[in-house]
Amino acid sequence: MTLLSFDWAFIIEKLIMIAIIVFASLGIALYTTFGERKVAAILQDRPGPSRAGPFGLLQPLADGLKLISKEEIIPSHANKWLFILGPGLAMTASLMTCAVIPWSTAVDVFGRHVELQVADVNIGLLYVFAVVSMGVYGIMIGGWASNNKFSLMSALRAASQAISYELAMGLALIALLMTTGSLSLKTIVEQQVSGNWWNIVYQPLGFLLFFVAALAECNRTPFDLPEAENELNFGYHQEYSSMKLGFYLFAEYINMIMSSAIMASMYFGGYDLPFFNEASVAPNIAALIGVGTLLIKIVLFIFLFMWIRWTIPRFRYDQLMNLGWKTMIPLALFNLLLTGAVILAKL
C-alpha cells in the first residue's frame, strides 16, 4: 500500500471533525464553569457572576486569562516530568471519549457522505470503559509527582474510588449489552431510533447505577472526596498552578460533558427526537436537528450534575466506599441476573 492509495479526503474529514469536537468541548467546558456558578447562585438565592460583560457572560474569559497569567510553579522536590505529564494525561483521557459518540445522522458535504462520528468501532462500550479507567492515571501521577503527602493521600482516594465505582459501572454496561446485543454506540442509538422505546425503559436500574458511578468517576459532589479541601488542603492538585491546574479543572468538566453524552446515547436515544419524522426534511437539516437534540440532552444532564452538587452534602469516605461495595455492586449484580432472566423468558 502506497501513500497515494490512502483516502486523504477521509483522513482530512476525520481530522476536521476531531478539531471541531475538541474545540467545542473546550468552549462548552469554559462556559460550564459559568453555568455552574449561576446555578449555584440561583439555588442559594444570590446573583452570581454579573460584572464581567453583559450578564457576566465574559466571566469565564476573565477567569481563563487570570489562570494563564498566574506564575507557573513546579515544587523543587517534585518529579518534574511526571508533574507535567499528570495534567496532560488527565486532559487527554477526558477528550478521547468523544471519538465513539455518534452526534447525529450523516450529512452530505460537497458530494461526500460524512458520518458525524469520529470512529464507529464495534467495541465502543469497551473503549469508553478503557478510556474512563485511564483518567485515574493522570490523577495518581500528579499526586505522586508532587512529593506532597496530602496530594498523594488524595490521589490514593481517587484511585480507590474510581476502581470501586468502575465495577458497578461495568456491570451496568454488561446488562445494557445483554439488552442491545451490541457494543457499538452507533448501533445502540440506531436501535433506539428505529424502535419504539429508549433503553431507559428496559434498564432503569442500570441507568441509575451508571449515573451514580458517573458522579463518582467525575469526582462530583457528593463523591468529591479526592478534593476534600477541609481534609486534604485542596486535594491531588494542591501543588499545581496556572494552566497545569487549569488542565485538571477542565478535565473534570469535559468528563462531565462526555459522561452526559454517553448516558444520553446509551439510555435516552442519543440524537433521537421523539415524534420527529426525519424523512419530512432534508438530510442535512435532520442531522442538525439531531445534533441539537443531543446537545439539549447533554445540557439537561449537566444541570442535573450541578443541581446535585449544590443540594446534597459530601459523604464521609467510609460511607462512599460502603455505597460502592455494599450497595452499588450487589444492585448491579441483581440487575444483571434480572436482565438475564427476562431475556431467557422471551426465548
193-202 residue pLDDT tens: 887 789 999 9
Q: Is the dihedral of CA 229, 231, 233, 235 positive or negative?
A: negative
Residue 45 lies in a domain: no
DSSP 281: S
Residue 2 lies in a domain: no
Beta bridge partners of 112: 109
45 φ/ψ sector (left φ>0, alpha ψ -120 to 50, else beta): left
Across residues 32-46, what is the average pLDDT?
87
**289: phi then psi, degrees, rounded to nearest 5:** -65, -40
Query: Which pLDDT band holds residue 1 (cuts at 50, 70, 90)?
Result: very low
Residue 32 lies in a domain: no
Residue 292 lies in a domain: yes
Q: Is 182 helix (H, G, I), strand (E, B) or coil?
A: coil
What proportion of the chain, given as a percentage, has pLDDT over 90?
A: 19
The yes-or-no verdict on residue 61 having pLDDT over 90 is no
**pLDDT, averaged across the chain:** 85
Residue 278 lies in a domain: yes
Cite the DSSP H helix spans in 44-123.
59-69, 80-96
Q: What pLDDT was estimated at residue 231?
A: 64
Q: Is 9 helix (H, G, I), strand (E, B) or coil?
A: helix
Across residues 278-295, what is the average pLDDT?
85
Q: Is 112 helix (H, G, I), strand (E, B) or coil?
A: strand
**Cell 455518534 -> residue:** 102
Greatest extent of the chain over all pairs of C-alpha atoms, in Å = 65
Domain that holds residue 196: 74-104+118-346
Q: What pLDDT was estimated at residue 325?
A: 92
> All 3 cell numbers of residue 336?
444483571
CB neighbour class for 158 (10 Å; exposed up to 12, middle 13-18, buried from 19): buried
> All 3 cell numbers of residue 14?
476525520
Q: What pLDDT was estimated at residue 229?
A: 61
The yes-or-no verdict on residue 190 having pLDDT over 80 is yes
Instruction: List the beta strands (DSSP E) in the chain.
Output: 107-109, 112-114
Across residues 94-102, what is the average pLDDT?
86
Residue 69 lies in a domain: no
The yes-or-no verdict on residue 220 having pLDDT over 90 is no
221-230 residue pLDDT tens: 888 877 766 5
Please state the domain count of the chain: 1
Residue 159 lies in a domain: yes
101-131 residue pLDDT tens: 899 888 887 777 788 888 888 888 888 888 8
**Cell 457576566 -> residue:** 56
Residues 6+ apart with CB under 8 A from 24: none
Residue 200 lies in a domain: yes
The yes-or-no verdict on residue 210 having pLDDT over 90 is yes
Peptide linkage before 222 cis (omega within 30 of 0): yes
Q: How far apart are CA 29 and CA 250, in angstroms?
A: 7
Q: What pLDDT was estimated at residue 286?
A: 86
